[in-house]
Amino acid sequence: MESTKLYVLVCFVILLATQGSAVDITYLESGKAKGAVCLDGSAPAYQFDKGVGEGANNWLVHLEGGAWCTSPESCYNRTHIRSGLGSSKLMKKRPFTGILSNKKLNNINFYNWNRILVRYCDGASFTGDVEKMHPALLSGSSAGGLASILHCDKFRAMLPTSIKVKCLSDAGYFVHVKDVSGGYHFQETYFDKVVKTHGSSKNLPRSCTSKMNHGLCFYPQFVAPQIRTPLFIINSFYDLFQITNILAPTEIGPNGSWAKCQFELNKCSPHQIEILKEFRLHFLQAIFAGLRNSSSRGMFINACHTHCQSEFPRKWLGDPDTKLGNKAIEEAVADWFYDRNSVQLIDFKHNLPQQCVLNPDEPNSKNNYTWGAVGGAIGSATLGAKNVVYLCSALNSAKCFHDAYDGGVIHDVYDGGGDGVGVEED
Assess contact for 114 and 60: CB atoms under 8 A: yes
Rounded to whole angstroms, how far apart are CA atoms 238 and 247?
Answer: 10
CB 196 within 8 A of CB 124: no
pLDDT tens-digit series, residues 137-193: 999 998 889 989 999 999 999 888 888 999 999 999 999 999 988 888 888 778 888
pLDDT of residue 373: 25
Rounded Cα–Cα distance for residues 225 and 288 (Å):
10
Q: Is 305 an active-site residue?
A: no
Residues 6+ apart with CB under 8 A from 323: none
3-class SS string, 207-261: HHHCCCCHHHHHCHHHHHHHCCCCEEEEEECCCHHHHHHHHCCCCCCHHHCCCCC
Q: What is the pLDDT of residue 416?
A: 29
Residue 252 confidence (pLDDT): 65
Among 170, 239, 347, 403, the one annotated catalytic: 239
Residue 417's pLDDT is 30
pLDDT given for residue 167 in this prediction: 96
Say what the pLDDT of residue 203 is. 83
Q: For 101, left (φ over 0), alpha (ψ -120 to 50), or beta?
A: beta
Q: Which of 151, 214, 307, 402 is catalytic?
A: 307
Query: What pTM, to 2 d.p., does this model score?
Result: 0.69
pLDDT tens-digit series, residues 197-245: 888 888 888 888 899 989 898 899 999 999 999 999 999 998 988 988 8
Catalytic choice (142, 148, 236, 310)? 142
Q: Is 62 a catalytic residue?
A: no
307 is catalytic: yes
Using DSSP's 3-state secondary structure scheme, residue 71 falls into coil
State the pairing for strand pair 379-383/387-392: antiparallel
Mean pLDDT by 10 residues, the chain (426 residues): 41 40 68 76 86 91 79 78 78 86 90 88 60 75 90 90 91 92 83 84 87 90 93 93 86 69 81 92 90 84 89 83 87 92 88 71 40 28 30 27 33 30 27
Residue 142, exposed/middle/buried by CB under 10 A (0-12, 13-18, 19+)?
buried
pLDDT, tens digit (0-9, with 9 covering 90-100), for 304-314: 888 889 988 88
DSSP state of 87: -
**Furthest C-alpha separation in the chain:** 67
